[in-house]
Structure 1
Amino acid sequence: MNKLSTYVIIKTVYFFQAGIGILANAFLFVFHVFTVHQVHSLRPTDMTTCHLAFVHIVMLVTTLDNFSADTIKLLSFSKELKCKCLLYISRVSRGLSISTTSLLSIVQVITISPSSFCLSRFKKKLKNYIIIAFFCFWSLNLSSNSNMIIYAVAHSNRTNLLNVSKYCSLSSMNSIIMTLFFTLALSQNVFFVGMMLLSSMYMVIFLCSHQRKSEYLHSMSISPRISPAKRATCTVLVLVSFFVIMYCVDMIISSFSTVLWKYEAVLLYLQGLVVNVYTTVSPLVLIISDKRIIDILQKMFAMITL
């Protein structure tokens, strides 16, 4: 298989994957908006899930713009402004995806924690703390990715550019500024991934304890049932584990892109596929694991088949 065929296959899979991701996240987002409109209240995990779905929609749309020539041409802005906006929004949404996933794991830990746990004191006003966290995440990511506005440029004949898409590049920057933004971005990612791992450890301990309790109930001839807390914890644990794996793979591909220092269509689309795997799979996992959504889908299917 030649390079052109590989490029066409990866590009086709990329757009198909992005389409599925946008539809799934849009469904999840609309469901939670409809829920809050009907019951006028959202659970803490619902608030975080709704925010995550919105961020992923923005993330998928901007990555489609980065790779679609037709979409780029439809915009009436200058090429320079288009590159700055698209790269900036793309980087901000990626940062928000990391931080929101980390918050989702922390919220779940607080939700399932007993009263003796140190974080249990946040339960009463957890929704207020989540709103504050959203504000902090947006402020942090909007500021930490501000270098995209300054250094993102449209392709030109200059040689000192790092090509990040088919149409956009990053111009060279002062070594001190580059080190500052790199350190900030790395510290931010390490912190949030670290919080995911710590939260995952606690949730694994919780599930093991719950499993021992279930075995005891089974030995007492009491039929154990899967509690909503356990189901939600398993869902968050799957999401966090999947995110960490995809994040590591993305870091490996990104390092190759940086070393090459030039535009490679196949490598770029491959990186886009890896980045969008989590944004596509996460809403599907959340939809399948939410009993409320399953009940609605079953009722809709029953009405259609009548």
Structure 2
Amino acid sequence: MSLLNNVFYFQNGIGVFANVFLLLFYIFIILCHRPKPMDLIFCQLTLTHTVMLLTGVFVWVTDMFESLNIDNDIKCKTAFYISRVMRGLSICITCLLSVFQAVTISPSTSFLANFKLKLKKYISYAFFYIWSLNLSFNSNLIIFVGGFTNVSETSQMKVTKSCLLFPISYIIKALILTVATFIDIFLVGVMLITSAYIVLILFRHQRQHKYLHSLSCPRSSPEKKATQTILLLVTFFVVMYWVDFIISSTAVLLWIYDPVIQSVQKLLMNVYPTITPLVQISSDNRIINILKNIQSKYYQIL
């Protein structure tokens, strides 16, 4: 367990640092420049992942230092509510990212091309509905999650060292799990469909313009590079999501708690918010140029 804890804190440290750096960059772009719609989406995704990682650290740190002057029940309700809301926002915004890019690169003859000029307006509405849906749907955790108070209570299931799920009737548990699964499957399905559409467009574009390229590998255009980055993020998210979904659903249905399994699940949940900013930083020429300028100035000072 100590090894898993060390890996968890190392992973979270990298993830928080990368996400905070990226969040500051997008805030600067939004406040000081004319942001692209994609910047607004990435900013929301980065904010979500930053809060998600910090919430995970908060839960584990307060488990280690139980003497902190924080009411255990309030701590558990707050931390798990925020954690679930951020998880829901992550999947929704990643889905929005995939749909947005599919509309952006769609040919002028396609049906999706009609929405290109209204993307910025639709994104504002999308953000409102995404936040409203996740804040309201996950409010049930305020009722069903609490501080660990009765060790002998077998109907309670621990989810961390000091937090638990209260007994839930099978009907309510099945209803919540069914609705949550339906929403997640729908969003993942939209991601897969839009990703397949994007791949098809890229394939057709490559075939139609093959005569323009030499035998050597051409330099990717910014649009193509952004599209490949989003495809990578969506693919990675879908894989990590289903692994986490299988583990968490099994634990809830069987009503079991295993510290090792929970630790592994936590690591898997944090892989996507940790990897995402690193992929974004390495694929955004604006950030790369800033880092190069900082590096050159540093060497000049030396």
TM-score of the superposed pair, with normalisation by structure 1? 0.92
Aligned residue for 1:54? 47
Q: Residue type of the partner of 2:111?
A: C
Aligned mates of 2:118, 2:67 — CA distance in 1: 46
List per-residue Cα deviations over 1:247-293 (Å, max 9, x = no partner).
11112322443366343222111111100000000110011000111
Instruction: Give the drift of 1:68.
Output: 1.9
Aligned mates of 2:279, 2:69 — CA distance in 1: 37
Q: Larger deviation: 132-141 or 230-239?
A: 132-141
The 1:34–1:304 alpha-carbon spacing in structure 2 relative to 1, beyond 3 Å, is: same
Aligned mates of 1:29, 1:50 — CA distance in 2: 6
Q: Residue type of the partner of 1:92?
A: V
Q: 2:105 aligns with which of 103, 106, 112?
A: 112
Question: SS at the partner of 2:168?
Answer: coil
Aligned residue for 1:192? 187
Q: Residue type of the partner of 1:243?
A: F
The reply on whether 1:162 has 2:146 as its aligned counterpart is no
Aligned residue for 1:175? 170
The reply on whether 1:8 has 2:15 as its aligned counterpart is no
Aligned mates of 1:62, 1:71 — CA distance in 2: 14
Q: Superposition pairs for residues 1-306 of structure 1, below 5 Å?
A: 7-39=1-33, 41-69=34-62, 73=66, 76-157=69-150, 158-218=153-213, 224-258=218-252, 261-306=255-300
Aligned residue for 1:3? none
Aligned mates of 1:252, 1:147 — CA distance in 2: 21
- Identity of paired residues, percent? 46
Aligned mates of 2:17, 2:67 — CA distance in 1: 22
Q: Larger deviation: 255-264 or 158-167?
A: 255-264
Q: Residue type of the partner of 2:242?
A: C
List per-residue Cα deviations over 1:181-240 (Å, max 9, x = no partner).
222211110111011101110111122123224432136x89944211110100000000
List per-residue Cα deviations over 1:58-80 (Å, max 9, x = no partner).
11111112222367647644211
Question: SS at the partner of 1:124?
Answer: helix
Q: Residue type of the partner of 2:257?
A: Y
Equivalent pair of 1:163/1:261 in contact (CA under 8 Å)? no
The 1:173–1:112 alpha-carbon spacing in structure 2 relative to 1, beyond 3 Å, is: same
TM-score of the superposed pair, with normalisation by structure 2? 0.93
Which ranges of structure 1 fall in alignment gaps of 5 or more residues? 1-6
List per-residue Cα deviations over 1:28-87 (Å, max 9, x = no partner).
111011012221x21111111000000001111111122223676476442111111111
Aligned mates of 2:186, 2:65 — CA distance in 1: 35
Aligned mates of 2:65, 2:274 — CA distance in 1: 23
List per-residue Cα deviations over 1:80-139 (Å, max 9, x = no partner).
111111111100100000000000011111111122221222221211211111111111
Question: SS at the partner of 1:83?
Answer: helix
Question: SS at the partner of 1:153?
Answer: strand
Aligned mates of 2:67, 2:137 — CA distance in 1: 29
Q: Larger deviation: 178-187 or 84-93?
A: 178-187
Aligned mates of 2:148, 2:223 — CA distance in 1: 51
Equivalent pair of 1:18/1:276 in contact (CA under 8 Å)? yes
Aligned mates of 2:175, 2:244 — CA distance in 1: 22
Q: Larger deviation: 53-62 or 120-129?
A: 120-129
Q: Larger deviation: 137-146 or 50-59?
A: 137-146
Which ranges of structure 2 fall in alignment gaps of 5 or more residues? none
